[in-house]
């Protein structure tokens, strides 16, 4: 079977990743490195219509890997008779050089990952609260607001997430944009509601 190829040639995808990767702040500051495998499907036009992480490291790197694969939408060459239901898996490598990461022990890196995941668990508790707000107990929201403050999720942060989502819409990454808008909604904010209605039915 003939293979799917990146339009700009054999090293096209690697070059594309190199030119477009935005190393996530947390992972960069904590020297978290490694390879994320993304599984995705292409339609006849070479557009990515489905993507998910098949092997991740940490959600900020996973999200960036997904963003990159979705950004590559339309840059793939599809051979005749290609089966568009087939999943393609690509590795997205995250490597830091020149950030003093050579001196970081893997224990330090694991410790950073643990603290990140603890924060993520808190974020998820906020999401679950707003997802099921009709079952909330009196006074519970005050605790949730305290968690949001602890995480630094304020209006400014949510405005940034909405802007990020709109930028993704411009780039053609509807799936990524709707994830951002949904996140804002589940932080108890109505800031993204009009975009959810417009783009994410």
Condensed to tens digits (0 to 9), the pLDDT of residues 4-54 reads: 899 998 889 999 999 999 899 899 989 999 999 999 999 999 999 999 999
Which pLDDT does position 109 carry in this prediction? 85
| Rounded Cα–Cα distance for residues 118 and 102 (Å) | 25
Residue where the block lists tokens 């951002």: 180
Q: What is the DSSP letter of 4?
A: P
CB-CB contact of 90 with 16 (8 Å): no
Taking the whole predicted model, whether its pTM rises above 0.85 is answered as no
Closest CA to 69 of 129, 16, 11, 136: 16
Say yes or no to pLDDT of 108 above 80.
yes
User: pLDDT band for position 170 (50/70/90)?
Assistant: confident
Please report, for the chain, how many H helices and E strands are present, in that order: 8, 5
Measured between alpha carbons, how far is 8 from 72 in angstroms, rounded to an integer?
11
Q: Measure the CA–CA gap between 90 and 149, rounded to whole angstroms.
A: 37
Q: How far apart are CA 160 and CA 28, in angstroms?
A: 20
Within 8 A by CB and 6+ apart from 158, the residues are 184, 187, 189, 191, 192
pLDDT at 92: 96
Report pLDDT for 201: 87
Q: What is the pLDDT of residue 2?
A: 60
Closest CA to 184 of 116, 127, 111: 127
87 in Cβ contact with 35 (< 8 Å): no
* pLDDT computed for residue 1 by the predictor: 43
């Amino acid at each position: 079977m003939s293979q799917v190829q990146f339009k700009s040639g054999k090293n096209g995808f690697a070059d594309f990743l190199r030119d477009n990767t935005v190393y996530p702040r947390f992972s960069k500051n904590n020297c978290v490195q490694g390879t994320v495998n993304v599984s995705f499907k292409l339609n006849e036009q070479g557009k990515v219509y489905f993507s998910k992480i098949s092997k991740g490291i940490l959600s900020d790197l996973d999200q960036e890997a997904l963003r990159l694969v979705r950004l590559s939408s339309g840059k793939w060459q599809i051979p005749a008779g290609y089966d568009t239901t087939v999943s393609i898996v690509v590795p997205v490598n995250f490597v830091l050089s020149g950030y003093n990461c050579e001196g970081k022990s893997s224990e330090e890196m694991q410790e950073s990952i643990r603290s990140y995941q603890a924060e993520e668990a808190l974020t998820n508790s906020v999401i679950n609260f707003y997802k099921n707000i009709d079952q909330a107990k009196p006074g519970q929201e005050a605790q949730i607001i305290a968690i949001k403050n602890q995480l630094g999720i304020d209006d400014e942060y949510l405005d940034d997430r909405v802007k990020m989502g709109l930028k993704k819409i411009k780039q053609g990454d509807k799936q990524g944009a709707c994830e951002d808008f949904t996140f804002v909604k589940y932080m108890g904010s109505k800031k993204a509601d009009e975009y959810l209605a417009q783009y994410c039915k």
